[in-house]
C-alpha cells in the first residue's frame, strides 16, 4: 500500500524506464527478423504499460490536491520495481545483439531469452490491468474526470497499437499519371487528404517539362495560371482535376518550365499566390484542407527575401486577416537543426542513388520542414524516367528520425528500408513507428 505522492513518483520512475526499454527493443525489431514477433509483443505491452503509468502519474498528482490526498492505494511498489529491473535487463541484453548472426553478445542465443520475454510480457499485461483498476477507482472516488472522459482515456490506453509498421497499408496502384507505366501511392488505412482520392501526399520533385505529356503540362499550366491570376474557383477545380486524373495532390504545385528556363523557377505555390493576391480567407482554408502546406518557401521574390513562406508574404503586404490562416499548424515539432541534418542525410542518399540526374534534370529534392505540418503522414517522391519502372522514395517522420522506403531504385523489384537519424543512415529490415 502506498500513498498518492509515492504512487506518482513510482509512475514517473517507470515512465523513464519504459521509454528507454522501448527505444532499445525497437532497434532490434527493425534489424533481426527471427526475434520480431516475440519482441513486438513485449514492446507493445511495454508501451501500453507506459500509457497506464502516465495516467496513474496524472491522476495521483491531481488526487494530492483533494480531500483524498492521504488515500492508501493497493499498489505493490516492490513488485513493480522488480519488473522495471527485469524489463531493463532484458532490453539491454537484446540491444547487445550481433545483427549478422542474430545472437546476443556473450553467447546468449535468443531462444534462451524467449521464455523470459514471454513471461515478462504476461506479467506486464496483468500488472497493467491491475493498475488500470486502481486508476479507475481513483477517478471514481475523487471524481477527477467525467465517466465519459475517463472511458475514452481507458480505451485509448488499453487498445491503441503503440508500435506499427512504418509502411503498412501503403501500396502502389495504377493511375492515369503523366508518364507511361507510372503508379501512385495509396494509403489504405487513412483518408487524410481532402477529395476523392486516398492518395498520400505527393512530393512533386520534377519541375521542368521534360518527360511529361502535353495533356499533363496543359493541366499544370491551367493550375499555375489560375493561381497567378487569382482565379480561385478555377484553381480549386484544377486541384480536384489533378487528384481525379493523375492521383496527384496539386495543392502545393509550382509552375514547371522548360529546361532553358530553370533558373527562373520561383517555386511559388498556390498559397503564395493566395497571399500575394489577398485571396478570401475561405479560399486559403480550403487550399490548406486540400493539402496546401504553409512552410514551403519560395526561391524568387521581389520582396526583402527570396525564400519566403506564404505567411511572410501576407505580413509583408499587411494582409492581417490572412496571417492567422497561413500560420503553419505544427503537428510534429522537430527542432529546425534536427530537420536540417536529417534533410542533408536524406539528400545525400538520393544523390548517391541518382547521381548526376539531380543536377542535370534540376530535381527539387524533398524539404523536410514541411513534415512538421503532416502529423507523421507519409510522402511519395516518384522518380520519373528511372531505369526501373515505378521508382521513388516513400518517407515519413518517426519522432526525430526519418524512415524511408526506396521503391525500385536499385533493381526492378527492390524494396529497401532505411532509418535516417542525426548520426547517419542505417538500412533496416523493417521500419517501425511509435504510434503516439
Residue 50 falls inside a structural domain:
yes
Range 383-409 average pLDDT: 90
Query: In sequence order, what are the residues at sequence separation of 6 or more whose Cβ sits closer than 8 angstroms to the Cβ of residue 106?
Result: 96
pLDDT tens string 37-76? 788 888 888 888 999 999 999 999 999 999 998 889 999 9
> Is 176 a residue whose pLDDT tops 60?
no
Q: What does the radius of gyration of the chain's CA atoms come to, in whole angstroms? A: 26
- Which of 140, 160, 180 represents a domain boundary (last residue)? 160
Q: Residues 203, 340: one domain?
A: yes
Distance CA 421, CA 85 (A): 29
pLDDT at 100: 47
Residues 40 and 129 in one domain: yes
Predicted confidence band at 238 (pLDDT cuts at 50, 70, 90)? very high
| Residue 406, pLDDT score | 93
Domain boundary, last residue among 142, 160, 178: 160
Three-state DSSP class for residue 207 = coil
Asked if 223 and 268 count as a contact pair (C-beta separation under 8 A), the reply is: no
* pLDDT over 50 at 311, yes or no: yes
* Distance set, CA 19 to CA 47, 97, 310 (Å): 8, 19, 38
**Percent of the chain predicted with pLDDT > 70:** 87
User: Any idea what the CATH number is for the domain that residue 233 is in?
Assistant: 1.25.40.20
Output the DSSP codes for 265-309: -----HHHHHHHTT--HHHHHHHHHTT--SS---S--SSS-SS--
Q: Note the maximum CA span of the chain.
A: 77
| Total number of domains constituting the chain | 2
Residue 197, pLDDT score = 43
Segment 308-315 mean pLDDT: 96
> Is the residue at 24 inside a domain?
yes
For residue 183, name the pLDDT band (cuts at 50, 70, 90): low
Give the pLDDT confidence score for residue 41 in this predicted structure.
Answer: 85
- pLDDT tens for 97-140 read 645 455 544 444 566 678 888 888 999 999 999 999 999 999 99
How many alpha carbons fall within 13 Å on the CB side of residue 217?
A: 12
Instruction: Report the mean per-residue pLDDT for the chain.
Output: 86
Q: Within 13 Å, how many C-alpha atoms sit on residue 39's CB side?
A: 26
What is the rounded CA–CA span in Å between residue 54 and residue 59? 9
Among residues 141, 160, 179, which one ends one of the domains?
A: 160
222 and 251 together in one domain: yes
* Alpha carbons 339 and 369: distance in angstroms, whole number: 7
Question: Which is more confidently placed, 394 or 166?
Answer: 394
Q: Are residues 131 and 261 in the same domain?
A: no
- Mean pLDDT over 177-200 rounds to 48
pLDDT, residue 178, reads 46
Residue 173 pLDDT exceeds 70: no
Residues 344, 233 within the same domain: yes
Residue 247 pLDDT greater than 90, yes or no: no
Claim to verify: residue 193 and residue 122 sit in the same structural domain: no
Residue 379 lies in a domain: yes
Domain limits for position 240: 170-434
Same domain, 44 and 175: no
Same domain, 133 and 195: no
The whole-number pLDDT of residue 330 equals 94
Share of the chain above pLDDT 90, in %: 55
Query: What is the average pLDDT across 182-189?
Result: 57
Q: Is there a single domain that holds both residue 218 and residue 354?
A: yes
Q: Is 214 in the same domain as 340? A: yes
Q: Residue 188 above 60 pLDDT?
A: no
Average pLDDT over residues 158-165: 73
Question: Does 145 score more than 90 pLDDT?
Answer: no
Residue 165: is its pLDDT beyond 50?
Answer: yes
Residue 272 lies in a domain: yes
- Domain shared by 142 and 214, yes or no: no
Question: Is residue 380 a part of any domain in this protein?
Answer: yes
Domain co-membership, 130 together with 196: no
- pLDDT higher than 80, residue 181: no
Nearest CA to 60 out of 122, 112, 15 is that of: 15
Q: Could you tell me the three cell numbers for 130?
A: 491491475
Is the Cβ–Cβ distance between 31 and 39 less than 8 Å?
no
Residue showing cell 492518395: 199
CA distances to 39, 90, 104, 114 from 107, rounded to whole Å, are 19, 15, 6, 14
Q: What is the pLDDT of residue 175?
A: 53
Residue 203 inside a domain? The answer is: yes
pLDDT at 199: 52
**Length of the chain, in residues:** 436
Please indicate, yes or no, if residue 125 is contained in any of the structural domains. yes
Asked, for residue 165, whether it belongs to a domain, the answer is no
Amino acid at each position: 500500500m502506498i500513498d498518492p505522492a509515492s504512487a506518482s513518483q513510482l509512475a514517473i520512475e517507470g515512465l523513464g524506464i519504459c521509454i528507454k526499454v522501448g527505444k532499445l527493443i525497437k532497434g532490434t525489431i527493425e534489424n533481426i527478423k527471427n526475434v520480431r514477433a516475440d519482441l513486438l509483443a513485449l514492446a507493445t505491452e511495454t508501451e501500453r504499460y507506459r500509457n497506464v503509468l502516465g495516467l496513474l502519474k496524472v491522476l495521483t498528482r491531481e488526487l494530492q490536491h483533494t480531500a483524498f490526498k492521504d488515500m492508501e492505494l493497493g499498489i505493490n511498489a516492490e513488485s513493480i520495481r522488480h519488473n522495471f529491473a527485469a524489463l531493463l535487463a532484458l532490453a539491454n541484453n537484446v540491444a547487445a545483439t550481433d545483427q549478422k548472426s542474430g545472437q546476443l553478445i556473450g553467447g546468449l542465443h535468443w531462444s534462451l531469452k524467449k521464455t523470459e520475454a514471454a513471461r515478462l510480457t504476461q506479467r506486464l499485461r496483468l500488472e497493467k490491468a491491475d493498475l488500470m483498476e486502481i486508476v479507475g477507482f481513483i477517478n471514481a472516488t475523487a471524481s477527477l474526470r467525467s465517466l465519459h472522459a475517463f472511458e475514452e482515456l481507458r480505451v485509448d490506453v488499453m487498445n491503441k497499437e503503440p508500435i506499427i509498421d512504418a509502411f503498412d497499408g501503403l501500396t502502389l496502384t495504377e493511375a492515369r499519371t503523366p508518364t507511361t507505366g507510372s503508379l501512385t501511392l495509396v494509403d489504405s488505412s487513412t483518408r487524410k487528404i481532402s477529395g476523392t482520392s486516398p492518395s498520400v501526399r505527393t512530393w512533386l520533385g520534377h519541375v521542368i517539362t521534360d518527360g511529361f505529356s502535353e495533356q499533363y503540362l496543359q493541366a499544370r499550366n491551367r493550375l499555375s495560371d489560375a493561381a497567378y491570376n487569382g482565379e480561385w474557383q478555377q484553381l480549386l477545380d484544377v486541384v480536384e482535376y489533378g487528384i481525379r486524373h493523375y492521383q496527384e495532390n496539386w495543392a502545393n504545385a509550382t509552375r514547371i518550365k522548360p529546361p532553358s528556363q530553370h533558373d527562373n523557377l520561383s517555386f511559388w505555390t498556390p498559397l503564395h499566390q493566395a497571399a500575394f493576391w489577398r485571396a478570401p480567407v475561405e479560399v486559403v482554408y480550403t487550399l490548406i484542407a486540400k493539402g496546401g502546406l504553409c512552410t514551403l518557401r519560395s526561391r524568387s521574390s521581389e520582396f526583402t527575401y527570396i525564400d519566403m513562406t506564404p505567411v511572410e508574404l501576407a505580413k509583408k503586404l499587411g494582409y492581417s486577416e490572412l496571417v492567422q490562416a497561413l500560420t503553419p499548424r505544427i503537428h510534429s515539432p522537430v527542432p529546425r537543426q534536427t530537420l536540417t541534418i536529417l534533410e542533408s542525410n536524406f539528400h545525400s542518399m538520393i544523390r548517391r542513388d541518382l547521381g548526376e540526374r539531380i543536377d542535370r534534370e534540376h530535381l527539387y529534392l524533398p524539404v523536410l520542414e514541411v513534415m512538421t505540418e503532416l502529423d507523421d503522414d507519409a510522402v511519395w517522391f516518384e522518380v520519373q524516367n528511372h531505369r526501373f519502372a515505378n521508382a521513388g522514395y516513400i518517407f515519413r517522420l518517426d519522432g526525430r528520425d526519418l524512415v524511408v522506403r526506396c521503391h525500385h531504385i536499385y533493381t526492378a523489384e527492390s524494396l529497401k528500408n532505411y532509418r535516417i537519424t542525426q548520426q547517419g543512415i542505417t538500412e533496416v529490415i523493417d521500419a517501425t513507428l511509435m504510434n503516439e
